[in-house]
Chain A
Amino acid sequence: MSFVKGLQCRECGQGYPKEPLHVCETCFGPLEIVYDYDGIKKSISREKILSRPKSLWRYRELLPIDGEPQAGLYSGFTPLVRAHRLGEALGVKELYIKDDSVNHPTFSYKDRVVSVAISKAIEFGFDTVSCASTGNLANSVAAHAAKAGLNCYVFIPDGLEQGKIIGSAIYGPRTISIKGNYDDVNRLCSEIADKYGWAFVNVNLRPYYAEGAKTHAFEIAEQLGWKLPRHVVVASAGGTILPKLAKAFKELKQVGLIDGGHCKIYSAQASGCAPIVQALKKGTDLISPVKPNTIASSIAIGNPADGYYVLQAVRESGGWGEAVTDEEILDGIKLLARTEGIFTEPAGGTEVAVARKLIQQGRIPRDESIVISITGNGYKTLEVVARSVEQPFKIQASLASFDELYLQLAQPAQGKALAGEG
């Protein structure tokens, strides 16, 4: 049974039926799902959730589907890793990594939003699904479309990493690479969505799609023993996930799954594409679009659709935001890998580096619980780090060769390099 009453414009409040619509006809504001929270409160319980399979659908009352889940039955419920070694490196007491780099099936947080969007596309009767993407979303849409037997077109900017391109192509979609950056792709897709009757997960299905991001926060709270962390750091690109984390934390209280608590949320961006953090620091509501220039291609969105709502959510929560350079991003990737054994893409490196910066600034206190949301996987973006890791030592297949090498490696300077400082 569904607890979705309909759609409503976030700006002017005009109501709309449950249809593939995303924009208010009157003011162009975004449409949001309206739930029957009283009904949900009566129906949902911790016991009920715990009795269900460990996927994002265990929170289905708070997701906008009408029937049974049709996609992503194994997506979500990623590990919340207690990060002792990274915590020590950052000088904080209680640190966790919410690790969506191992989300099923395409190793990014996008499997959450796409599970909901594809379920909804099937409910609406679409036979073709599509998206505008910096790579991760395209991977996820292509995989879920293959599983569901739907036609699929994915649109990406040119110049993406091989792992992101092949990571879509393998599932058999039509991949269209657009000359330009993500913002060019996004504009084109808005026009294509308008003309072709397809389910664009992040255009006409966006109100449904975006709700899937809440499950990242539901899981954090459940995995912490039904309580909120005090601080969460998450990257902002288009701005989908951050406001949805805030919404999810509110909903958990509203439907009685947690008793209280308050979480400050921090936005992480790359210095080469930080329109949201710039607006945050200027204290303005107006986001000036930028032309992205960063190695963090998955978050290189210069004109973030939900940027305004990121600002609102960060400010309401009492959080903040920071931007870090490409060099700091690479350091962040390596630090996470070498302390926690988790290999993330530049978006994740951004999150780690921003967390470090905010801790150093004293914005995030060292003695309270902190979650860093890791949203993507480093195996998709090998080129980015290829030159900043040690190359293999080539030797003959003889013990003497290794003995010789080992003597060299055992020199103090080299030994330190192996331990991760080099």
Chain B
Amino acid sequence: MTVRVRVPTPLRKFTNGADEVNGQGGNVRALVEDLDRQFPGIKERICDETGKVRRFVNVYVNGDDIRFLQNLETSLKEGDAISIVPAIAGGA
């Protein structure tokens, strides 16, 4: 199944500048693997050495933070919109 992934500026050097790419996968973990096949090196920017999403990276599925869902095991369906967003932003 194909989903749309929004790519933040710091990762666009991997995607030849594209701000949105397509990816495949039944859950977020599989999607990240697929992105790494398409754009080698992108996985280690998103995940740390233990395989978890990095502290300063937020991943959203259709606007919902995956930490409120099932993290990397969050399942995906055709046409879902995934956003990878740097966590460091905001004030009040």
Contacts and interface: CB of A to CB of B under 8 A. Distances in A.
Contacts of B57: 28
A308 B63 CA distance: 23
A289 B88 contact: no
Given A194-B9, A289-B67, A186 B56 contact: no
Interface residues on A, range: 35 or more
A346 to B, nearest CB: 12
Contacts of A22: 86, 88-89
B86 A202 contact: no
A303 B8 CA distance: 19
B55 to A, nearest CB: 7
Interface string B36-80: 000000000100000000111110100101011000000000000
B89 A27 contact: no
Interface residues of B, number: 26
Interface string B15-35: 000010000000000000000
By CB atoms of chain A within 10 A, which of B6, B67, B83, B87 has the most? B87
Contact of B83 (A27, A137, A187): A187
B92 A238 contact: yes
Interface string A304-346: 1110100000000000000000000000000000000000000
A189 B87 CA distance: 11
Contact of B10 (A25, A200, A303, A305): A25
A184 B89 CA distance: 12
A121 interface: no
Given A28-B45, A184-B63, A206 B56 contact: no
Contacts of A134: 92
Contact of A137 (B8, B87, B89, B92): B92
A356 to B, nearest CB: 23
Given A27-B56, A28-B45, A194-B19, A186 B89 contact: yes
B34 to A, nearest CB: 20
Nearest to A141: B91
Interface string A94-130: 0000000000000000100100000000000000000
Interface of A: 11, 22-30, 110, 113, 131-134, 136-137, 182-184, 186-187, 189-191, 193-195, 200-203, 206, 209-210, 237-238, 240, 288-289, 291, 298-299, 301, 303-306, 308
Interface of B: 6, 8-10, 13, 19, 45, 54-58, 60, 63, 65, 67-68, 83, 85-92
Given A132-B89, A187-B60, A238-B90, 18 more contacts: A23-B10, A23-B88, A24-B10, A27-B56, A28-B45, A28-B86, A110-B92, A137-B91, A190-B8, A194-B8, A194-B9, A201-B91, A202-B89, A210-B91, A299-B92, A301-B92, A304-B90, A306-B88
- Nearest first, the 5 closest Cβ-Cβ pairs linking A and B are A202-B91, A28-B56, A237-B92, A30-B88, A23-B86
